Amino acid sequence: MGNRAVGRRPIRLSDRQEARLVDSVAALTTAGLPLCDAYDAAAEYADGTRACERIGTTASAIARRLRTGESVCDATEQEVSRVHPIHAAMLRVVDETGDARRAYSVVARFLARRIELRSAAVTAMVYPGFVLACTVLGVAILARVVIPGIAGILSQTGAAAHPTIDPELILRRARTILLVLTVVIAAGAIGCLALRTTDADGPTVRLVARLRLSLPVIGSIELLRELLTSCTAVECMVVVGIGLDTAIERASSCVSNRWLRGRLAEAADRITAGVTPSAALLDAVGRRGSVARWFALAENGVPIVAAVHGLATDLDGRIEQRIALLRASVEPASVALAGSVLLIVVVAVLVPLIEIFAGAIL
C-alpha cells in the first residue's frame, strides 16, 4: 500500500460527494477514457463550489497515485478517509479485472439510488420526530417547572386545609412516575444506538441483529436495504466475470447487519461445496426479498447478470413500497404514542391534586 504524503490527511467525502465522484468517473470511463485520465478529467471539470472542490482535490490526488503505479484501491484508501463498502468492493474488482467501465457504472447507480431512498425515509420521519420531540420537551417542562411549583403551593394550602394530608408525599409520586418514564425512553434510545453502532460479534449480537430485522416496517426496510447492498456488490462482480460463490462471499462484507452477513457467508461456502445458489440462499435467508427465486431463474437459463440486476430492481421497488407504508403508519403511531405519554403525565399530576382536595374537603 502506498505511503500517504507527510502531513497530508485523507479527505472525508460526504455520501453525496462520494456518489458524485464515482458517477463522474463512471461516465468518463464509459466514454472510453482510461481510469487515470478519467480521474484527471473529473478533477478538471469539478466546479468552484467548496463541495466540488473537495471532489476535484480527491480525484486529482488519486490520479497522481495511479500514475505512480499504485492500485486504484490503495490510492483511494490513502486519499479518502471513509469509503462505502460497495465502493471499496468495486475498487478491488477493478484492480483484479481491469474492467472499470462496467464496475463503476453499477456502483454509481447504487450510490445515487441509496441517497434517494435514504432521503425519502428521513422525510417520512421528520413529522413523527417533531411530535415526539415536543412530547419529550413537554414532559421535561412538567417535571422541572410545573410539578415543583404545584408542590410548593399545595404544601402550604393543602396542609392548612387538612393537616393529615401530605401534599409533598403525594406529588412525589407524580415526579417518580415522570422520572421512570424518562429513564425508560432514554434507556431505549441508548440501547438502540448501541446496537446500531457496535462492531462486536457473537451469538448475542447476531440474535439481536436478527430480531431487529423482524421489526414491523422498519426492520423490513433495513433487511431489503441490506439485501440490495449485497445484491449490488454481487452484480458489480459477476458483470466482470467473477464467480458467484466468490461474489457472494465478498458481498457479505458489505452488509452491516451481523446476522445477515454471517448467513450470506455460509451460503457462499455451500455454493462452493456444490449446492445450487437458490437452495443455498433459500436456506440462508429464507423467502426474504425473494432472493432464492431470482437465482433459481439463473439456474433455468436466465443469464446470471440479468437475474441479479432483476433482483436489485425488485428490491429497490420493495424498499419504495415499505417507505410509503412507513410514511402512512408512523405518523398516526407517533401521535398515539405522544398522546399516551401526555395522558400518563396528566394523570400523574391530576390524581395527586384530586387526592389532596378530596382529603381537604373530607
- Kindly report, residue by residue over 243-276, the tens digit of the pLDDT: 888 888 888 888 888 888 888 889 899 988 989 9
Quick one: which of 253, 257, 248, 256 has its CA closest to 213? 257
pLDDT of residue 147: 63
Residues 237 and 316 both lie in one domain: yes
What are the φ and ψ backbone dihedral angles of 11, each rounded to 5 degrees? -85, 135
Residues 31 and 176 both lie in one domain: no
CA dist 308 and 235 (Å) reads 6
Report how many domains make up the chain: 2
Residues 96 and 118 both lie in one domain: yes
| Domain endpoint, select from 57, 80, 103 | 80
pLDDT greater than 60 at residue 359: no
Residues 312 and 336 both lie in one domain: yes
Residues 216 and 321 both lie in one domain: yes
pLDDT mean over 329-355: 72
Residues 315 and 341 both lie in one domain: yes
| Domain endpoint, select from 80, 97, 124 | 80
pLDDT mean over 205-223: 79
Rounded to a whole number, what is the distance in angstroms from the first to the last CA of the chain?
A: 85
pLDDT mean over 63-70: 90
Confidence of residue 178 (pLDDT cuts 50, 70, 90): low
107: its cell numbers: 456502483
38: its cell numbers: 478519467
pLDDT mean over 195-223: 72
| Domain endpoint, select from 59, 80, 101 | 80
Q: 134 or 55: which carries more pLDDT confidence?
A: 55
Residues 187 and 75 both lie in one domain: no
**Measured on CA atoms in the order 173, 179, 182, 187, is the torsion positive or negative?**
negative
pLDDT in tens, 88-139: 888 888 888 888 888 888 888 888 888 888 887 777 777 777 777 777 777 6
Q: 8 or 280: which carries more pLDDT confidence?
A: 280
Provide the domain limits for residue 207. Answer: 84-362
Is residue 212 included in any domain, yes or no? yes
pLDDT greater than 50 at residue 2: no
Is residue 2 included in any domain, yes or no? no
